[in-house]
Structure 1
Amino acid sequence: MSITQAFLGWPVLRQLKEGDFLGRGPAVATRHTKSLTTRTNTADRVAKSVCPYCAVGCGQNIYVKDEKIVQIEGNPDSPISRGRLCPKGSASEQLVNSTTRQTTVLYRAPHASEWTELSAAEATEMIADRILETRRRTWQDEDEQGRALNRTMGIASLGGATLDNEENYLIKKLFTGLGAVQIENQARI
């Protein structure tokens, strides 16, 4: 490339030559920038979802390539968010692709200093046993005046903001069915 060509290729001169005086059009794009493609263009498919972080329920377009999430963006068809996501929603791709994501069940026994790995079945059985024992031990049929209570004050639930609406709905139904009355979600606190 000659010095003249390099000089005429300067963005300011391109802006003047092409009438792009504010520098917002193609005059400011480099050859390298024009050669790039977005991750959304290379995706095999787009899945529609709802952001899992809070109770707002912003719509998401999840771009998948080779069965791996490559990008998450706001869904412009969503009547709730109209294509916008907060910083947490925009970063939700990290929920599944983070190298630090915990993918096994870990358990630390009382007074132990180390975590041990459990199978999902073993952990589920342990949790179920503890819930049933606590419910049995703390169940209240009625109060002092004989009024029906049918509840347990020994079990409570605090849901997390990374659960979606459907998961929180099922958790609410489960804990209500168990007789718990102390049911809350982090997104409302």
Structure 2
Amino acid sequence: MARKTFLDWPVIRQLRGADPTGRGTAVTSPRTRSTMPRTAEADGVVDSVCPYCAVGCSQRVFHKDGRVINIEGNPDSPVSRGRLCPKGAASEQLANSYLRQTKVRYRRPYGTEWEDLDLDTAMDMIADRFLEARRKHWEDEDEQGNPLRRTMGIASLGGATIDNEENYLIKKFFTAAGAIQMENQARI
């Protein structure tokens, strides 16, 4: 590493060079000039929507080698105009957290250990239990003969990381299935 001299001081560079106001090259170090944004090395960028609330802020998701490297607000969005709240700005952690589960985990009734299941098996188990609960708790009419056509055996609790469209479809699905107990975590 080269030893710095008196002439390397920024104020001396400022007075000797073509930058007397000290707003350009005179005050930038070689290290500063060599830095570049993380997004410059990205393989690509994809437009997305923040998953946290119903506002629908637009995001630009930068990826490299199949991994999310940065998420920032999309300046072309009429909703958020390039801004993200603290949760939206930190949503990169959703994809890259070491705590993120990437396998279906199942613990049998009265069991003490978790086991991995393949997705098809887990989906079949959920569908079977859903249909059984609906069938077992179906109420066609009340004591006076008034039509009910509902089930009290299933309920839905939506999450704040589900966007508006997904919540709309979930509401429609559970209503069609006869469920009347539907809530969303964002309201609680």
Q: Same fold (TM over 0.5)?
A: yes
Displacement of 1:50 in angstroms is 0.5
**Aligned equivalents of 2:142, 2:33: Cα separation in 1:** 73
Displacement of 1:93 in angstroms is 1.2
User: TM-score scaled by structure 1?
Assistant: 0.86
Q: RMSD value over aligned CA atoms?
A: 2.1
On the 8 A contact 1:55/1:187 being kept in 2, the answer is: no
Displacement of 1:28 in angstroms is 4.8
**Aligned equivalents of 2:186, 2:11: Cα separation in 1:** 51
Give the AA of the match of 1:178.
A
Does residue 140 of the first structure (1) align with residue 110 of the second (2)?
Answer: no
**Aligned equivalent of 2:6, options 4, 7, 15:** 4
**Match in the other structure for 1:128:** 127
Give the AA of the match of 1:96.
A
Higher relative contact order (CA 8 A, sep 6+): 1
On the 8 A contact 2:39/2:70 being kept in 1, the answer is: yes
**Aligned equivalents of 2:27, 2:160: Cα separation in 1:** 41
Displacement of 1:79 in angstroms is 1.5
On the 8 A contact 1:52/1:165 being kept in 2, the answer is: no
Go from structure 1 to structure 2 and tell me whether the alpha carbon gap of 1:163 and 1:28 turns closer, same or farther (over 3 Å shift): farther
Q: Secondary structure at the match of 2:82?
A: coil
Give the AA of the match of 2:182.
I
Q: How does 1:95-174 map to 2 (within 5 A)?
A: 95-174=94-173
Q: Secondary structure at the match of 2:55?
A: coil
Gaps of 5+ in 1: none
How many residues get paired?
182
**Aligned equivalents of 1:167, 1:88: Cα separation in 2:** 20
Displacement of 1:2 in angstroms is 4.9
On the 8 A contact 1:60/1:73 being kept in 2, the answer is: yes
Give the AA of the match of 2:106.
Y
